Amino acid sequence: MEKQLYLSSSPHIHCGETTDKVMRGVIYALLPACAVSIYFFGWPALLVLFLCTGGCMATEALCRKGMGQPLSLGDGSAALTGILLALNLPPSSPWWLALLGAVVAIGIGKQVYGGLGSNPFNPALVARVVLLISFPVQMTTWTAPAPLGSAIDALTTATPLGELKTAVMLTGKLPLLAGSDYLGYFTGNMAGSLGEVSALALLLGAAYLFWRRILTWHIPATYLGSVVLLSGVFWLVDPSRYPSPLFHLCTGGLMLGAFFMATDMVTSPVTGKGMVIFGLGCGIITVLVRLFGGYPEGVSFAILLMNAATPLIDRFSRPSKFGTVPQKG
């Protein structure tokens, strides 16, 4: 029997990963952070997670139906955006703030550009920044952790980053007890948004992503490394005014941003060299905003600014074609 010869374009070898598998993997990796947030902030945290996830999925379905396109909820991207949005909100967020954030994330941050794979900015961070600028009171009202089963009522308090920013602006010096509870910062016993309170839970999720080979080292390592290096320089110059690198690592949304937001495959560079540049830029901007900006936190702004620079980074980090000789002059 005569054999048939099939001709097709590359790629000819597939690793087996699909979009929905990757999305589900990231969702699984975020479960420890979700569990810790529910433990420390109780039912309000669960409600915010439910509203953001359901709101993003409903908005995605309405947008796709309105555009006459097939539903895409099965790929898991809308659910993942909802979880990431919830992890960027305070535990005390009112219901309308969570739903409005979901509409902004999917409607403005994603579908207006054409849907999954076409959005230039991380949708969850677009929603967070829009809410932060539009509703600063609701977005900066933080709740002290009250573990499930405790008799502690919900109390409002400042985040460690906010407390330091206020003290430095008023006195020019760090508070006396600044950075005295690193174990609490690492495990999640501090005020903050749902996803930034536990570095330990985020590291567990990141380890799972590395094991699944969904993450590479480029962006997380250069992001965290540049924060440690630059904040360490300022700390060595004046430790009474600038917090230590360990404080920057354990507080705020740095871990969440470095492992789960900056590494978004759609909005980050595609080459290893480009990822290194992207991570360095995120780290430098984060430290500059935290130390000299008007906001105590700079992760969201840093990642969005570097998202905007991604096409340029991709252009200049593009590897040369195999077999070509660069022309001089």
Whether omega for the bond prior to residue 11 falls within 30 degrees of 0, making it cis, is yes
Enumerate the domain spans of the chain. 20-139, 160-317
Tokens of 34: 């979700």
CA dihedral (210, 216, 218, 221) in degrees, to 10, reads: 0
Query: Which residues sit opposite 143 in a β-bridge?
Result: 156
How many Å separate Cα 198 from the centre of its chain? 14
215 versus 13: which is more confidently predicted? 215
The answer to whether 270 touches 231, Cβ cutoff 8 Å, is no
> For the ranges 21-35, 86-100, 181-195, 259-273, which has the lowest average pLDDT?
181-195
The contacts of residue 67 (CB under 8 Å, 6+ apart) are: 111
Q: What is the pLDDT of residue 56?
A: 95
pLDDT in tens, 252-273: 889 999 999 999 988 999 999 9
Tokens of 297: 């936190």
For residue 53, CA distances in Å to 46, 78, 119, 237 come to 11, 7, 19, 44
pLDDT in tens, 143-175: 887 777 665 666 777 788 888 888 888 887 887
How many C-beta atoms lie closer than 10 Å to residue 117's C-beta? Answer: 11
The answer to whether 315 touches 147, Cβ cutoff 8 Å, is no
CA distance 329 to 107: 47
pLDDT in tens, 268-323: 999 999 999 999 999 999 999 999 988 888 999 999 999 999 999 999 888 777 67
Name the band, by pLDDT with cuts 50, 70 and 90, for residue 245.
very high
Residue type, 74: G
